Structure 1
Amino acid sequence: MNAHAPFSFATPDRVIVIGAGVAGLATALRLAPRPVTLVTASPLGLGTATGWAQGGIAAAMGEDDAPALHAADTLAAGAGLSEPEVAERVAAAGPGLIEWLVGLNAPFDRDTVGALALGLEAAHSRRRIVRAGGDSTGRLVLETLVRAVSATPSIDVVVAQARHLMHDRQGAIAGVVCERGGTRLRLAARAVVLATGGIGALYASTTNPRGATGAGLALAARAGASLRDMEFVQFHPTAIAVGADPMPLATEALRGEGARLVNGLGAPIMAGITGGDLAPRDVVARAIFQAQARGTQVFLDCRGALGARMATRFPTVAGLCATAGIDPQHEAIPVRPAAHYHMGGVRVDGSGASTVPGLFACGEVASTGLHGANRLASNSLLEAMAFAPWIAEAIEAVPVPGAAQAVPEQPRPASDLPTIRAIMEQRVGVVRDADGLAEAVRRLMPAAEAGCDAALVGLVVATSALSRRESRGAHWRSDCPDQAPVRHTETTLAEVLSSSAVDAPAFA
């Protein structure tokens, strides 16, 4: 691998993968031996949400489990918007993907007889969460894939910011314009795969890296791609509320091992709610949000035996608690919901292809039909790895595009990210209503029109949320609490920018 190669190596037959989390790394590996240029904003292993994933990878590996049961749980969590054929196909791929990682020497946890140790998380009917290092699965899987990529000679790594997608005269994607050290660089490509992650950092409270502002979604939108179900943002219910930004996460697996959500007096928060502490994430997040709106502080109670073994079973959470001065064996952990995962994204088909020829998307940036209105816990790493080989296979049939057309050099406007994050937190959060969403649209529109990517992505989320006049999964409208007939929302940049009149100055 050549991490410092000159940019002249990008030929029209090469594939460019943008992003180096599990989606980008897995796709680059599956494309081998085809030449791949992996464009990443940070050096390999850094700046990606994959490395922060605590829970694990969902796969039907147990004797009492089956892919059909996994698919059924996925559909139930998706609240009517998960596509059955996608859920069945991804769930069926799960066991083989775990074996693929084992073949790459991923250090999965084992039980006393050497079998994979399987954990339980919310809304799963079986213990099927494959983990590594207790709650360090994301980091250890990322390290495994980085080692594999580093040993693959067909993959070149370029540390740069992707700024624009280039088209040929017929409208097919023909490459990427990147920026490194202030220099503008053109990379020609046969196809481009977006693997750029999510949008959590558009919110003031998030568990995501600060760079997770939807840059890949902005690239796709400006290239003309359709975006689907952008309103569905999953808020993890148990971010540790100690004033950090991003917020440290207390994995859902803690509740699978017996932790309980309580108020300051120790009374259960989830009493009387179907599923209790292991209800789907959207249900738990709303219960905590509503309790806090009433002035009730919420805690994750791991005291006693679970707290005593946290250092070995959940070392990441134990370390986060120690940094915050919390002893989970004797103290309950203060928690609150925070933006965690985006179910919406670039609409893709079963091969990961977008509506723009030559443009593919994998992982959180994509809307594959798996997650629907509410992602089932630990299905995200699974989805990314499942689609990687399907994308690689589809790219074999993509014709080499014509010469890339010139991209106008436009100054990038300054982004008032703190203001955008406050708007999204206050108006497009756990509980929404028409007035708040309309205000968010009015305030984000001018900056989006001026070319601010963060404002553009926030605008699409707010516009889609305003158009969905119902409550479903992670999208909850206090003014529309019932469900309407099942439908997807789908839009393009042109439709969003023409949909609302601007009657307020930017960030007024």
Structure 2
Amino acid sequence: MKKADIIVIGSGIAALQLAHHISTKKNVIMLTKSDVKASNSSLAQGGIAASIGADDHYSLHSDDTMEAGRFHNNKDVVDKITSDASQLIHELHEAGCPFDQDLSGQLKLGMEGAHSHYRIVHSGGDATGKNVIDFLVATLPRNISIAENMFAYELLINEKNQCVGVKAKDETGNIHYYFADHVVIATGGCSYVYSLSAGSPNVTGDGIAMAYLAGAEIADMEFIQFHPTMLIKNGEVKGLISEAVRGQGAKLVTKNGKLIMEGVHPLKDLAPRHVVSQTIYDYIHKGEEIFLDISSIDDFEAKFPSITEICVSSGINPKDGHIPVAPGSHFLMGGIRVDLNGKTNISGLYAIGEAACTGLHGANRLASNSLLEGLYFGKRLAKYLNSALPMEKLENDVFLERSNHTPVTVPNFNELRERMMENVGIVRTKHALVKHKSWLERYLHLDQEFPSFDNLSISEIQSILAIVIALMITDAALERTESRGGHYRLDYPTENINWQNHQVIYHYTKGRIGAHEQNKATVHARAVFC
């Protein structure tokens, strides 16, 4: 058993930013599923969006964010984050984080889809995530302890509905108990529950499912962003081709050279991601191959060294000018419902980064707003925790244990991923969603009493938590009878004003002492609560 002031589950940009801003008087333990750098943050080729240019303003960045999110965003949250973006970049840069500069020493600003101005800050061309994570890890304060290869799987909740800690398993299956006044979930999204994904295999929604089973509110799970341009070879994802490539002038074309975004959207190849993904999907569904024509980009290899390496290692020569692409699961706009300080509806439990539903992204994330969100909420939550008092908890860290009866069986994880892509992917229908939900419920129901996971292997627990995530995505996609942002229903192909700013929220209470109400999918008007 270990005790700390703060436990952080995850090691992406939000977690590391929190670690840098937390008081050195606080004892912090960071639990990470594998290597400390093995997060989606480190894979981010795109940059960080901020209105730094002389002709730019945060209100324009805010407008672009709202438009990309199809006005499902929380405007107050969007304004606060976009107005702080420049300061967050300059703080990192002044601390020594390397960002690309022009010959005059000014930060270079790039363009990406759905942005109205050049405002994307990069590091190492297309290695922004890796460089920022490397910097933050290398400069971690001494009060931060890191436990790698530690799989957190159950939050410890006491009879006062306070989160008092977390259970985790090491590589050999030994159970470890960690207790703290404050527990922060920063485990990322769930992109790897889909078969087409360039994300880290670690990102399967564990933290979100764990929070759900503890009684946290989960919102907007139907909003999955499918990145338009993942490099595809022989039906497999080999890597992601950053939107910055299209920002430099690359065009999406068929094998015969047809420009597929002509006449689809005023921004053409730089249209919002859901528009581009759905257009590519339509062509692929009709049997067409789609390519990214990079022939107009001078010095491609120098500008995009990481992407060049991915191409070459996949047997594709960038000098040929065409990269085969297809959309794949990339980012979750929903997650654990939090306020501006990252607080959940459970005392002592917080969520930041992609695991959290903050109101910034709405129905579709604007390019390069993800690292920005992590920086903002990591710093903001640290400031809150620096002044927070220890909770008045029950004596001896009493928490509620689940029963140890035999759990249900779980499906093959790869089969789950294939079915998610087929039935709850880029284009959805009631028929496919109902069929998939029925298949998932052969294994689990969201309102059943869940057993103890203590005697299960890490892979078994991960599969169970992945089904919980899959059920929430599928059921929420059934509930939302419209198309908005990353959620596209072929049987409801247009936006419905009655759905704008209304969230599908899941709240699990069954199986908890003193709790009798079963969880329900409920629709609420968006609100940021305290």
| TM-score, length-scaled by structure 2 | 0.89
Ranges in structure 2 where 5+ consecutive residues have no aligned partner: 452-463, 511-516, 522-530
- Secondary structure of the residue aligned to 1:112 is coil
- Secondary structure of the residue aligned to 1:255 is helix
Following the alignment from structure 2 to structure 1, what is the Cα–Cα distance between the partners of residues 217 and 402?
22
Following the alignment from structure 1 to structure 2, what is the Cα–Cα distance between the partners of residues 248 and 193?
30
Following the alignment from structure 1 to structure 2, what is the Cα–Cα distance between the partners of residues 242 and 104?
40
The corresponding residue for 1:156 is 145
Following the alignment from structure 1 to structure 2, what is the Cα–Cα distance between the partners of residues 276 and 57?
22
1:18 counterpart letter in structure 2: I
The corresponding residue for 1:311 is 301
Following the alignment from structure 2 to structure 1, what is the Cα–Cα distance between the partners of residues 484 and 374?
24
How far has the Cα of 1:483 moved from its partner?
1.5
Report the number of matched residues.
486
The corresponding residue for 2:222 is 231
1:446 counterpart letter in structure 2: R
Following the alignment from structure 1 to structure 2, what is the Cα–Cα distance between the partners of residues 297 and 171?
53
- Secondary structure of the residue aligned to 1:381 is helix
The corresponding residue for 1:405 is 399
- Secondary structure of the residue aligned to 2:291 is strand
How far has the Cα of 1:407 moved from its partner?
2.8
Percent identical residues:
36
The corresponding residue for 1:458 is 470
The corresponding residue for 2:257 is 266
Contact 2:158 2:400 in 1 (8 A): no
Contact 2:251 2:292 in 1 (8 A): yes
The corresponding residue for 2:199 is 208
1:462 counterpart letter in structure 2: T
Following the alignment from structure 2 to structure 1, what is the Cα–Cα distance between the partners of residues 219 and 47?
26
- Secondary structure of the residue aligned to 1:234 is strand
How far has the Cα of 1:498 moved from its partner?
6.0
Could you tell which deviates more after superposition, 63-72 or 28-37?
Answer: 28-37
Alignment deviations for residues 349-387 of structure 1 (CA, whole Å, 9 cap, x no partner): 111111111111111000000000000000000001101
Contact 1:70 1:91 in 2 (8 A): yes
How far has the Cα of 1:488 moved from its partner?
1.6
Contact 2:410 2:443 in 1 (8 A): no
Alignment deviations for residues 42-99 of structure 1 (CA, whole Å, 9 cap, x no partner): 1222x21111100100011111111111111101111021111111000011111111
2:136 aligned to 129, 145, 160, which one?
145
Contact 1:208 1:246 in 2 (8 A): no
The corresponding residue for 1:474 is 486
CA RMSD, aligned part only? 1.8
How far has the Cα of 1:211 moved from its partner?
1.6
The corresponding residue for 2:461 is none
1:407 counterpart letter in structure 2: E
Following the alignment from structure 2 to structure 1, what is the Cα–Cα distance between the partners of residues 219 and 187?
16
2:425 counterpart letter in structure 1: G
The corresponding residue for 2:416 is 420
How far has the Cα of 1:245 moved from its partner?
5.3
- Secondary structure of the residue aligned to 1:189 is strand
| TM-score, length-scaled by structure 1 | 0.92
Q: Residue 301 in 1 paired to residue 316 in 2?
A: no
Contact 2:159 2:400 in 1 (8 A): no
Contact 1:15 1:190 in 2 (8 A): yes
Are the structure 2 counterparts of residues 243 and 361 from structure 1 closer, same or farther at C-alpha, using a change threshold of 3 Å? farther
Following the alignment from structure 2 to structure 1, what is the Cα–Cα distance between the partners of residues 48 and 473?
27
Alignment deviations for residues 462-506 of structure 1 (CA, whole Å, 9 cap, x no partner): 000000000001100000012222122112235998669xxxxxx
Q: Residue 361 in 1 paired to residue 351 in 2?
A: yes
The corresponding residue for 2:80 is 89
The corresponding residue for 1:283 is 275
Contact 1:447 1:456 in 2 (8 A): no
How far has the Cα of 1:423 moved from its partner?
1.5
Alignment deviations for residues 289-338 of structure 1 (CA, whole Å, 9 cap, x no partner): 0011111111000014x1x5111101111111111222222231110000
Contact 1:166 1:174 in 2 (8 A): yes
- Secondary structure of the residue aligned to 1:303 is coil
How far has the Cα of 1:273 moved from its partner?
1.4
Are the structure 2 counterparts of residues 347 and 321 from structure 1 closer, same or farther at C-alpha, using a change threshold of 3 Å? same
The corresponding residue for 1:335 is 325
Following the alignment from structure 1 to structure 2, what is the Cα–Cα distance between the partners of residues 244 and 184?
39
The corresponding residue for 2:284 is 292
- Secondary structure of the residue aligned to 2:368 is coil
